[in-house]
Structure 1
């Protein structure tokens, strides 16, 4: 009978060293991104609940449901098929409710975009809907 000796001891330490090096590189990259300001350009989005639907005449109707950033919303503009913007809602105390996008007429087959302007100078697309 011939006995062979197996030696698998070197496999686990090599894999362990590779994993430790990979984890060290990932941690160094995360720290470097914060130190050099790469993560500083991330802006949080505003929370405003607005939906768009069609009424019986195929006009767009915006329904403002609320949201934590509704009190800071100064203006809501709309555009149809990427045309020029028109004012939908304006005022320092915008409230919940239904608002007709009256100048748009029938929006069937068209794209309607609502853009919000906030009191901190930021703008955000609130709704982008293809009818």
Structure 2
């Protein structure tokens, strides 16, 4: 005999095979886990929205600007204005489509701006808009289902 023992080479080969099998098993488990979230994440839009509050001769104004993210169908985005004070016409709480707030076109993308002003949310008899105690919520409503997601919330300085 030459002193060569062939049984010693089997142990490292089995170790490598086991490590590869464990790696494949972990990768398959992770892929299954993350693929399960695909359906729940794909339907919800991701957008960046900023609100700019200003005071002018018509009272308060809020400009809601879409600054980035997914392009949305305009009819799927709603703006809820709660407790807006309209001088000469009382308090207003209502839901508006973006077309009512000055957004033109069929889609909403970065650069689109909605205006919450005395002219867009108050009755014609109102002279000024008070947003100090107002809450404004921008929501995306899925077509045909009625369910949706809040995209942005703004609260007045005294709300």
Normalising by the residue count of structure 2, what TM-score does the alignment of the two structures yield? 0.45
How is 1:33-52 mapped onto 2 (pairs within 5 angstroms)?
Answer: 42-43=40-41, 45-52=44-51
Question: What do residues 41-84 of structure 1 show as CA deviations (whole Å, max 9, x unaligned)?
Answer: 844531111112212242111111121x22x3333221122733
Structural mapping, 1:43-82, within 5 Å: 43=41, 45-56=44-55, 57-67=59-69, 69-70=70-71, 72-75=72-75, 76-81=77-82
What is the CA–CA distance in structure 2 between the aligned matches of 1:43 and 1:98, rounded to whole Å?
26
Counterpart of 2:153 in structure 1 is: 128
Counterpart for residue 106 of structure 1: 130
Displacement of 1:90: 6.1
Compute the TM-score of the two structures, normalised by the length of structure 1: 0.53
SS in 2 for 1:59: strand
Cα contact 1:60–1:106 (8 A) shared by 2: no
Q: Distance in 1 between matches of 2:112 and 2:74?
A: 16
Q: Unaligned regions of 5+ residues in structure 1, if any?
A: 1-33
Secondary structure, in 3 states, of the residue corresponding to 2:60? coil
Work out whether residues 73 and 119 of structure 1, in 8 Å CA contact, stay in contact via their aligned partners in 2. Answer: no
